[in-house]
């Protein structure tokens, strides 16, 4: 493949003179690894053969960068909303919801190139230094201060909202323009159409408008430049690039679309689904009803809801039966600080003939009027752990 001499010079200059390249990148790797673990636990990775194909495209794009800095890894998120994101250290994510919106490998490559540049140029680290690092987790309430149990903390501190807002990039407009500019550069360098990114962005904008029934004030990502501006900017940069050999991995559109066979478009029933305020899990054989109008959430680790005032919340986690319910209760009680906590209820019980254990606790501090109820229930092959917490009022 040949590209204009100008493009080659541009590529060499930009990728050999990165100001951050001389800095220690171990922090990027550490931060990315920790954040990736949180994403795996709270959002989940969607395993589908398309992930291998996505990795092939990503590796092809990365081959156009001289000093790669990181070992880039590519994942599909268990997320129905269309989105894409990058974490420090080379972790690149596509939601499963964005994949069916692509009409070609070139369009995927355009978005992948954009996210690769975010990681490569360390935009996330720069954003963090400005106090606007991507908000990966949203903490619903502050009740965890009442107890110190890691198990309880992990469940209560799970994010309560899994939408595209979860991955609001918060990058500067300068970072976004740079990611577009260099992203289409590396894409064209390995044989992709740089203008395909425009097609993908326009389609994402239309999907956003249809889902909200109103024209989006901003483009797909919350703080990215508006689609109209991005389109003209990308087109202007693309004029400087010329591909003499179109070289995608899959050239036939029908073959490309066949790669999407078996991909879940909406909610994945394997993790349970919500129908308004009712949660149904076919594989585990249970139904759970939450209060109406509460904000609901579902992840690999928990299902839960919080009321609109965020003064009350209910979570449930499930794991295979390993111990009696009393075992988990005793473990929690070991970690309680009795100087600050008062036990209101602490007993074994039966629920529909199944072994269960319940603990209720409150704070001794007058200013912390919070009650927490914890229930462990062994039913069939599973232990269900429920946590309800809220203001006394």
Query: Nearest CA to 207 among 325, 310, 290, 99?
Result: 99
Residues 136-164 have pLDDT tens digits of: 333 233 333 333 344 444 444 443 333 33
Query: Nearest CA to 299 among 277, 273, 320, 319?
Result: 273
Judge whether 297 and 160 are in contact, CB under 8 Å: yes
- 186 shares a domain with 284: no
Answer with the one of 200, 225, 258 that is the final residue of a domain: 258
- The CATH number linked to 296 is 3.40.1000.10
- 300 shares a domain with 355: yes
Domain ranges, residue 237: 5-134+169-258
**pLDDT score of 177:** 87
**pLDDT score of 300:** 73
User: Cα–Cα distance between 164 and 360 in angstroms, integer?
Assistant: 35
- 184 shares a domain with 72: yes
User: Cα–Cα distance between 348 and 39 in angstroms, integer?
Assistant: 35
User: Is residue 187 in a domain?
Assistant: yes
User: Is residue 151 in a domain?
Assistant: no
- 103 shares a domain with 28: yes
User: Is residue 229 in a domain?
Assistant: yes
**pLDDT score of 120:** 93
User: Cα–Cα distance between 322 and 383 in angstroms, integer?
Assistant: 8
User: Is residue 149 in a domain?
Assistant: no
Answer with the one of 209, 232, 258 that is the final residue of a domain: 258
User: Cα–Cα distance between 180 and 196 in angstroms, integer?
Assistant: 12
- 316 shares a domain with 246: no
User: Cα–Cα distance between 249 and 105 in angstroms, integer?
Assistant: 8
User: Cα–Cα distance between 246 and 7 in angstroms, integer?
Assistant: 16
- 186 shares a domain with 115: yes
- 198 shares a domain with 321: no
User: Is residue 114 in a domain?
Assistant: yes
- 323 shares a domain with 236: no
Q: Give the total number of structural domains in the chain.
A: 2
User: Is residue 46 in a domain?
Assistant: yes
Residues in the chain: 393
Token couple for 206: 């239309």
User: Cα–Cα distance between 148 and 391 in angstroms, integer?
Assistant: 19
User: Is residue 160 in a domain?
Assistant: no
**Can you give the pLDDT of all 393 residues of the chain as single tens digits?**
333 433 433 343 344 444 454 457 888 898 889 889 888 877 889 999 999 999 999 999 999 888 888 999 999 998 888 889 899 999 999 999 899 999 999 999 999 999 999 999 998 776 554 443 333 333 233 333 333 344 444 444 443 333 333 344 467 778 888 989 999 999 999 999 999 999 998 888 888 767 655 444 433 545 455 556 778 888 888 888 877 688 899 999 999 999 999 888 877 777 888 888 899 888 888 888 998 888 888 877 778 888 887 778 888 888 888 899 999 888 888 777 667 778 888 999 999 999 999 999 887 777 667 788 999 999 888 899 888 888 766
Judge whether 248 and 105 are in contact, CB under 8 Å: yes
- 360 shares a domain with 211: no
Answer with the one of 221, 236, 258 that is the final residue of a domain: 258
User: Is residue 143 in a domain?
Assistant: no
Q: Quick one: three-class SS letters along the chain? A: CCCCHHHHHHHHHHHHCCHHHHCCCHHHHHHHHHHHHHHHHHCCECCCCHHHHHHHHHHHHHCCCCCCCCCCEEEEECCCCCCEEEECCCEEEEECCCHHHCCCHHHHHHHHHHHHHHHHCCHHHHHHHCCCCCCCCCCCCCHHHHCCCHHHHHHHCCCCCCCHHHHCCCCCHHHHHHHHHHHHHHHHHCCCCCCHHHHHHHHHHHHHHHHHCCCCCCCCCCCCCCHHHHHHHHHHHHCCCCCCCCCCCCCCHHHHHHCCCCCCCCCCHHHCEEECCEEEECCCCEEEECCCCCEEEECCCCEEEECCCCCEEEEEEEEECCCCHHHHHHHHHHHCCCCCEEEEEEEEEEECCEEEEEEEEEECCCCCCEEEEEEEEEECCEEEEEEEEEECC
- 288 shares a domain with 248: no
User: Cα–Cα distance between 91 and 310 in angstroms, integer?
Assistant: 32
């Amino acid at each position: 493949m040949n590209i204009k001499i100008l493009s080659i010079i541009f590529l060499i200059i930009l990728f050999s003179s990165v100001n951050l390249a001389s800095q220690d990148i171990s922090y990027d790797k550490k931060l990315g690894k920790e954040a990736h673990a949180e994403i795996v636990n709270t959002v989940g990775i969607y395993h589908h053969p398309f992930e291998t194909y996505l990795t092939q495209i990503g590796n092809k794009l990365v081959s156009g960068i001289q000093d790669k800095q990181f070992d880039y890894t590519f994942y599909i998120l268990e997320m129905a909303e269309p989105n894409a994101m990058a974490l420090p250290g080379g972790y690149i994510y596509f939601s499963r919801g964005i994949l069916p919106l692509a009409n070609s490998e070139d369009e995927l490559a355009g978005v992948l190139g954009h996210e690769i540049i975010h990681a490569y140029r360390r935009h996330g680290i720069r954003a963090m230094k400005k106090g606007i690092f991507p908000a990966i987790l949203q903490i619903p309430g502050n009740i965890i201060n009442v107890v110190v149990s890691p198990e309880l903390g992990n469940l209560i501190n799970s994010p309560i909202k899994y939408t595209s807002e979860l991955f609001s990039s918060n990058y500067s407009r300068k970072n976004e323009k740079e990611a577009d500019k260099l992203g289409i550069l590396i894409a064209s360098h390995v044989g992709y159409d740089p203008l395909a990114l425009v097609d993908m962005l326009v389609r994402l904008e239309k999907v956003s408008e249809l889902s909200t029934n109103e024209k989006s004030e901003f483009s797909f990502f919350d703080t990215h430049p508006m689609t109209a501006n991005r389109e003209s900017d990308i087109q202007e940069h693309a004029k400087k690039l010329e591909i003499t050999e179109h070289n995608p991995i899959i050239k036939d559109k029908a073959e490309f679309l066949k790669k999407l066979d078996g991909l879940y478009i909406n909610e994945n029933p394997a993790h349970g689904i919500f129908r308004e305020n009712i949660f149904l899990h076919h594989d585990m054989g249970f139904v759970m009803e939450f209060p109406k109008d509460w904000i609901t959430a579902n992840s690999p680790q928990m299902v839960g809801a919080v009321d609109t005032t965020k003064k009350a919340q209910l979570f449930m986690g499930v794991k295979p039966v390993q111990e009696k319910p009393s075992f988990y209760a005793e473990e929690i009680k070991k970690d309680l600080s009795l100087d600050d906590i008062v036990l209101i209820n602490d007993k074994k019980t039966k629920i529909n003939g199944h072994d269960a254990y319940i603990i209720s606790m409150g704070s001794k501090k007058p200013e912390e009027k919070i009650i927490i109820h914890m229930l462990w229930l062994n039913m069939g092959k599973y232990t269900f752990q429920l946590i309800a917490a809220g203001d006394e009022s």
